[in-house]
Amino acid sequence: MQNGTLPKWLTETLINGISIWNKAASTSFPHLLQQITLHDSIWSYAFIPEVDRLVLIIQLDSHWNKDFCHQLDDWPYLAIEITEPLNTSYIVAADPVTNIISKAASESVAYSNFTEWISAGKSLGIIPTNYPQLPQYSVIHRTEIETIGGYFSCIHQEAIRILLYSSGGESLAINFSHRKSSPYNPAVLKQKEPGILSRLFHWKK
């Protein structure tokens, strides 16, 4: 899973324009994945503009998301801001062509299970012993995005913010009035298809 090449206007807007996030729509990943599907969309970019913020940029497949994409033929750019990512892991693809997303899912995770996982990771030597002490969170989510040749997993706070731009740079309204129903749109992770974290440790809700 590699970062691709973004249009200059998008780079300047999202990387340098911190204030534009004041116009973003607030939601959660499970809710977002009930409205749209990321299937066949393209993982374009990920960056950390500042501490405690992670931004994902996905070129959204307008075929599967016609209403959300304002009936556009050209695929728009969906920017997703994750606030306070607690733990992130990914597998890098060697070929950018493999950045096509096959599936994405998100679910809530008991905070106590996350702290147990951190403790187990420290004991096994796969997480630094000086991993910072985290404040108590009421709700955290685990989000996983799989591409043909890569994998992204993130434990994060519930709230996310999103922006949508046309391929030409026009800011598009976020419309959640049309719920997307697709066989490629699991809103909750399936036990029969565990992600990389689930394969390392069995998590209980």
pLDDT tens track for 46-77: 888 887 889 999 999 999 999 999 999 999 99
- Kindly report whether the global pTM for this prediction surpasses the value 0.85: no
CB 202: neighbour CB atoms within 10 A?
8
97: DSSP letter: G
Specify the pLDDT at position 71.
93
One-letter amino acid at 194 equals: P
Radius of gyration of the chain from its Cα atoms, rounded to whole angstroms: 17
Q: Is residue 205 included in any domain, yes or no?
A: no
Q: Is residue 53 included in any domain, yes or no?
A: yes
List pLDDT tens digits, range 146-171: 998 889 999 999 999 999 999 999 99
Q: Is residue 110 included in any domain, yes or no?
A: yes
Three-class SS of residue 100? strand
Number of domains in the chain: 1
Mean pLDDT of the chain: 83
> Taking residues 82-110, what's their average pLDDT?
86
Domain residue limits at 30: 8-200
**Most confident region among 30-34, 137-141, 179-183 by mean pLDDT:** 30-34
For residue 21, report the phi and psi dihedrals to the nearest 5 degrees. Answer: -70, -15
